[in-house]
Amino acid sequence: MKLIGDRFPEVEVETTHGKIKLPDHFAGKWFILFSHPADFTPVCTTEFVSFQKHYDEFRALGVELIGLSVDQVFSHIKWVEWIEKKLGVKIEFPIIADHTLDVSKELGLIHPNKDTTTVRAVFMVDPNAIIRAIIYYPQEIGRNIPEVVRALKALKTFDEKKLAVPANWPNNELIGDRLIVPPAKSVEDAKRRLEAAQRGEHECYDWWFCHKKA
């Protein structure tokens, strides 16, 4: 079972866009792999529509999407045809047909005490093929896709600014859209934090809680 900080496993998968080698297919790019329990189910259908509705937003961030379930590829194809015909939404990203369960077992997507289908998981993978975030939901609860977008933006912001991201960012109840200076690692560092605050380089509630504009 892969964890945050691990390299995404090298696998060849069958998808609605043909065979794909992961993570090579997205080399140099961020990508999100998300699993769903089954095709032709109501909650999963609402999720796929929402992922597609936000696809331009993901691509604007340089992020690609790829879905997964244990259904056969012909089931995926028929399902996305149904979504386009009945709901007017064309699913543009590929969907993995993991009927062998190889990828699902590798990523820990099947939780036997819950069900025999894949849970709703989200894996956020950076351009170096490192898993940066994992989110799990049970089968009965649909995901909040804007939160997936927000988390991706937060990861990219951290990589760029080297500043941590607060709860509910960019609408945090204490500091709004400001970012958090990483904790001090020594007594001298703590002292310098407060001195820097006096110079206006950032603001602090205390030496261990300093924040600044992005």
Asked if residue 94 belongs to a domain, the reply is: yes
Inside any domain, residue 152: no
At 59, the pLDDT band (50, 70, 90 cuts) reads very high
pLDDT of residue 99: 92
Are 105 and 16 part of one and the same domain?
A: yes
Residue 177: predicted pLDDT: 97
Number of domains in the chain: 2
What CATH number corresponds to the domain at position 105?
A: 3.40.30.10
The predicted pLDDT at position 112 comes to: 83
Asked if 166 and 138 sit in the same domain, the reply is no
Domain assignment of residue 57, yes or no: yes
Mean per-residue pLDDT, 53-75: 97
Catalytically active residues, by annotation: 44
Q: Is 108 part of any domain?
A: yes
Alpha carbon separation from 183 to 175, 187, 194, 210 (Å, rounded):
16, 11, 12, 8
Q: Look up residue 203 and give its amino acid.
A: E
43 pLDDT tier (thresholds 50, 70, 90):
very high
- Model confidence over 103-140: pLDDT tens digits? 999 999 998 887 778 999 999 999 999 999 999 998 89
Establish if 4 belongs to a structural domain. Answer: no
Give residue 183's pLDDT. 86
Distance CA 89, CA 81 (A): 9
Mean pLDDT of 18-41: 97
Domain housing 211? 162-214
Domain boundary (86, 118, 144) is at: 144
113 and 167 in a single domain? The answer is no
Pair (80, 109) in one structural domain: yes
Question: DSSP H helical segments within the chain, as ranges?
Answer: 42-53, 55-60, 73-87, 102-107, 145-161, 187-198
Q: Is residue 15 part of a domain?
A: yes
CATH no. for residue 183? 3.30.1020.10
Is residue 117 domain-shared with residue 16, that is, in the same domain? yes
Give the residue from 96, 117, 144 where a domain finishes.
144
Residues 102, 48 within the same domain? yes
- The reply to whether 53 and 138 lie within a common domain is yes
pLDDT at site 65: 98
Mean pLDDT, rounded, of the chain: 95
Query: How confident is residue 1, by pLDDT bands cut at 50, 70 and 90?
Result: confident
* Residue at 208 is within a domain: yes
CA torsion, ordered 77, 80, 82, 84, to nearest 10 deg: -130
Q: Are residues 138 and 175 in the same domain?
A: no
Residue 209: pLDDT over 90? yes
pLDDT, tens digit, 9 for 90 and up, residues 80-96:
999 999 999 999 999 99
Give me the pLDDT at residue 115, please.
74
Give the span between the Cα atoms of 110 and 108, in whole angstroms. Answer: 6
pTM: 0.93
Indicate whether 74 and 168 sit together in one domain.
no
Same domain, 121 and 75: yes
Give 181-201 pLDDT, tens digit per residue: 998 899 999 999 899 999 999
Same domain, 133 and 169: no
- Rounded mean pLDDT, 62-80: 97
Type of residue numbered 80? V
Within a domain: 87: yes
Distance, in Å, from the CA atom of 47 to the CA atom of 55, rounded to the nearest integer, reads 12
Verify that 211 and 124 share a domain, yes or no: no
